[in-house]
Amino acid sequence: MIRNICKQRFSGRILLSTRSLTAKKLVYEGYGDPAEVVKLQEFELPDSLGPNEVQIRWNAAPVNPADINQLQGVYPVKPKLPAIAGNEGSATVEKVGPKVSVFKPGDLVIPSQSGLGTWRTHSIHGEDEMFPLDPKLNHIHASTFQVNPPTAYRMLHDFVKLQKGDTVIQNGANSAVGRFVIQLCRVFGWKSINIVRERPDIQDLKNDLKQLGADVVYTEEELAKNIREISNVRLALNCVGGKSSFQLCRTLTDQGCMVTYGGMSKQPTQTPTGPLIFKDISLRGFWMSHWYTVPENLAERKRMYQVLADLFINGGIKPAPYTEHRLGEYKEVLGIGLQAKKKPIFVFE
């Protein structure tokens, strides 16, 4: 929290302005190279709150691939410009308007929906724009709570009714979502077959994912070689597309389902035609942001959040490796962007 010292000095109305606050935000007015289009701006936070508004102090906000794509202008959702960057983050409630009933100062919250603009130190919102989290959650874990863990959770629950011992296959297993898929499969008693790209440190990665609970970790090449020995897979999770999605489909059993949530290869999602027709497999897609917009999902959101929060708190699941950054480092952070091995997280404390 930074007091608005400059203004105090030049305005001469020192006593009247001591309660106003200079906050910071990362703003963009056009699309392009993320490190170039984003600008750090200071702004004065209004001193007054509407009856149903809450003032929050952001704790932390991750830099997700979707944020980068949005800045590049290649994401299907384009905010009205100028916009504040960032879609995910955790915050603590500082002040509440007189008619706010859901929140009190000190509460831990995250945005109700995507697109709020989370790369900033403070903001004021309608209370319905925020969603409560278990206050026992670590603030940094809470900042990456909204997208990846629920994405893994929903994809594992909403498409196929998995029984204990059933098998799930996924590509991009080293992604943030992929790591939650591995951990949730371990927690719920499902076997996971995890496909990653070949790389120099492949054995380290395999050990890392196996420590999270992965039953099998294969490179794409190893999957192709062993595919005839894999059967009875009920659910495939695809964030790659192209040949990788084709191979995933080949492992599906009757009425198995492949859920696509990304297309890292930039190739069309592919499936062999035979299993579509003769095994009645299906291809679906999943988008967490859309799920949150469906009013009927509210009760299930609360229930799922408690399940996931409990798992975070008792150490049953943990986020993918991350690095902490100050907001002022945004040019370096957005410069490395998607290439970063660890997820960059802005920490505002």
x-or-dash string of contact with a copy of itself, 287-316, rule CB under 8 A? x--x--------------------------
User: Residues 75, 218, 305, 330: which is the catalytic one?
Assistant: 75
Distances (CA, A) of 200 to 207, 263, 342: 14, 23, 17
* The one among 163, 165, 200, 277 contacting a copy of itself by CB under 8 A: 277
Q: How far is the CB of 315 from a copy of itself (least distance, A)?
A: 31
d(CA 114, CA 64): 12
The stretch near a copy of itself (CB under 8 A) out of 119-127, 176-184, 213-221, 286-294 is 286-294
Total of residues contacting a copy of itself (CB under 8 A): 28
The stretch near a copy of itself (CB under 8 A) out of 110-118, 166-174, 281-289, 327-335 is 281-289
* The one among 202, 276, 336, 347 contacting a copy of itself by CB under 8 A: 276
Instruction: Give the DSSP per-residue string, 116-180.
Output: S--SBSEEEEEGGGEEE--TTS-HHHHHTSSSHHHHHHHHHHSSS---TT-EEEESSTTSHHHHH
The stretch near a copy of itself (CB under 8 A) out of 83-91, 175-183, 274-282, 317-325 is 274-282
* The one among 283, 304, 313, 336 contacting a copy of itself by CB under 8 A: 283
Torsion region of 338: left, alpha or beta (phi above 0 gives left; psi -120 to 50 gives alpha): alpha
Distances (CA, A) of 270 to 120, 222, 267, 327: 40, 19, 9, 40
Q: How far is the CB of 171 from a copy of itself (least distance, A)?
A: 13
202-212 vs 176-188: helix crossing angle, rounded to 10: 40
* The one among 65, 97, 272, 316 contacting a copy of itself by CB under 8 A: 272
Q: Does 180 bind a copy of itself (CB under 8 A)?
A: no
Nearer Cβ to a copy of itself (133/233): 233
User: Nearest 5°: phi and psi at 340?
Assistant: -60, 135
d(CA 174, CA 150): 17
Asked if 218 is an active-site residue, the reply is no
Nearer Cβ to a copy of itself (59/260): 260
* The one among 20, 22, 282, 297 contacting a copy of itself by CB under 8 A: 282
Q: Does 188 bind a copy of itself (CB under 8 A)?
A: no
The stretch near a copy of itself (CB under 8 A) out of 118-126, 174-182, 270-278, 297-305 is 270-278
Nearer Cβ to a copy of itself (188/246): 246
d(CA 169, CA 235): 6
> How crowded is residue 299: how many other Cβ atoms within 10 Å of its Cβ?
9
Q: How far is the CB of 253 from a copy of itself (least distance, A)?
A: 14
For residue 198, give every residue at least 6 positions away whose Cβ sits within 8 Å of its Cβ, in sequence order, or none.
219, 220, 221
The stretch near a copy of itself (CB under 8 A) out of 16-24, 121-129, 255-263, 317-325 is 255-263
| Angle, alpha carbons 179-181-182 (nearest 5°) | 65
Read off the tokens for 315: 């150490």
Read off the tokens for 307: 């399940």
d(CA 158, CA 285): 11
Closest alpha carbon to 285 in 244, 235, 234, 238: 238
x-or-dash string of contact with a copy of itself, 57-96, rule CB under 8 A? -------------------x--------------------
Q: Does 228 bind a copy of itself (CB under 8 A)?
A: no
Q: Which residues bind a copy of itself (CB under 8 A)?
A: 76, 241, 246, 260-263, 268-287, 290
Instruction: Indicate which residues carry an active-site annotation.
Output: 75
